[in-house]
Amino acid sequence: MADHELAPTPAPVSATVALTFDDGPHPDSTPELLDALTAAGHRATFFLCGAQAERHPDLVRALDRAGMAIANHSWSHPSLPGMPLPAVHDEIHRTNRVLTELTGRPPVLFRPPYGATDPTVARVAAEAGLTETLWDVDPRDWDGTAPAEIVAVLATARPGDTVLLHDHGNRNTVTALPAVLAALTARGLRSAALPH
């Protein structure tokens, strides 16, 4: 390289994004997502549905053992705004109980299904000791986005962004993840679990 040519400045090693996976755990996707993350040395946050966690407790424990953050995504994934207060309470608190039983500690983060919230939902979550967490980048992997498009959208993620992905048997997300992680690493970015 000639003296006048400047090499691109890599991002600091401490620069992170937060990959998050909603709707799991799911036996058709969680193990492969976890394998890709651990092989690349990245961490992520899994917003789990309580019914799925109860159905697949070994997957919850595997995520927890691997250092992934475990968070609350309601019991059965309904749109919570407008539901009767006891139902909202049950969706959130029932999931907290199951995740606490499986990991030995209560979750501290909550993502409302569809990102749909209102003051009642926020209050019930806060009373349960949870902080609502949404996202900055959404490749719409839930809508059949092709793996290459998922990778391209995530190439726009900036340090500090929270990325929405899904863990519900979606093969496109599973297929895209190794390339996503490689691209983040090449940019000097790491995926880190949200504080838990």
Q: Hey, how many other C-beta atoms are within 10 angstroms of the C-beta on 189? A: 24
Across residues 163-178, what is the average pLDDT? 94
Confidence at 11, pLDDT banded by 50, 70, 90: very low
What pLDDT digit, counting tens, does each position of 74-132 carry? 999 999 999 999 999 999 999 999 999 999 999 999 999 999 999 999 999 999 999 99
- pTM (2 d.p.): 0.92
Across residues 165-193, what is the average pLDDT? 94
190-191 and 16-22 strand pairing: parallel
Confidence at 170, pLDDT banded by 50, 70, 90: confident
162-166 and 69-72 strand pairing: unpaired
Structural domains in the chain, sorted by start? 16-191 (3.20.20.370)
The Cα angle at residue 110 between residues 183 and 77, in degrees rounded to 5: 95
What pLDDT digit, counting tens, does each position of 12-59 carry? 446 999 999 999 999 999 999 999 999 999 999 999 999 999 999 999
Closest of 26, 17, 11 to residue 45, by C-alpha: 17
Q: Which residues are catalytic?
A: 22, 166
Structure confidence at residue 196 (pLDDT)? 63
